[in-house]
Structure 1
Amino acid sequence: MNQADTDKAAQSVQRVYAERFATDLADNRAEQKELAAQIERLRSRLERLRTDETWLAGMQSALPGATAPPRPRRAARAARTRAGGGDTAAKAVPSPRTAGRTKPKPAGTSAAGRRAGTAAAAPLHQLIRALMPLGEPRLVREVHAELTKAHPERGTSVQVVRNTLETLVKRGVVGKGLQKGTAMYTATEAAQTDEGRAAG
């Protein structure tokens, strides 16, 4: 091999690594953005809970005869035991909490919860394969984006999705190819058939 061929091969390798690093960097930044969004959602949820707590405490203190916040459950049980069977007191404690929690539940909450529970319990590889159309190549971050959109409760990272896809490649149910040095994953006929069996 002459010097020109050697230089050309070296440039080709450098280009492949440069594209791979660019892809990994994009995945890293996307994951950081996702985690930051999750943290922001948790902060908002915490603020809402604190606001609800203040409102509930105010409503409870406004009830007739309410002079102090209810004691912890363990302390209440111990007091009833010492009193020798205070069933009336036991029933009186939950009443303020029940009155403060009469917010109507949105329609379909139970069904949505069941669907979320089913998705949370399903194997990750099954969810990923179900989101990959047969014969259409997908980047790791594309699969991750679709998974996050369809199943936000899973909270899966790009690296976990990549590892799962590599496992599916080893099993022969997902194909892998390189396009300009970037890994592309494609659902094969075997993956589609296997999904059909899982659905049945």
Structure 2
Amino acid sequence: MTSRSTATLRSRLVDQAASDLEDNRRRQRELTERLAILQQEEALLTDILKLAQRYESFAAPSRLPEQSQDDPVVDRPRRTSAANERRPLLGDLLLELLGEHDEPCSARELRDGLLEKHPDRRPTPQVVRNTLESLVAKGRIRRDKQRRSVMYTLSPSQTAA
């Protein structure tokens, strides 16, 4: 190698190193800015979490404004939890409907019966089929195929119960 080609190579390497160094510094600045943004987002989310926890403590049953300090605290149950406790499971309703029939029923017939007896319940046909298949898997009902139709009946153990 000649001294001229060595100088040219050295010059290229120095230029490349300077360019790489500048790229690294630019990337470090970008990452530092991104880190600062993420830290701000974390602080914001932490504040939101604290506010949500504080709100939960406010949402607990408390004295009504018109109550005096000596009056007892009225503890009202939440509507959502009370409604969930009173609502029977879909599987139980389907078992009840099957028990009312002497002959096998299709998923459509069971859904129609459910909609008639429980108008507040509006499960999709797929949800009814899935629930019926779950009951089959648990051995609580039997599934029989009649041509292209699938019919359901109570299993003998359920009939005895």
Task: State the TM bucket, normalised to the shorter chain.
Answer: 0.3 to 0.5
Name the one with the larger helix percent: 1
Q: Which has the higher contact order (CA 8 A, sep 6+)?
A: 1
Length-normalised TM-score, structure 1: 0.36
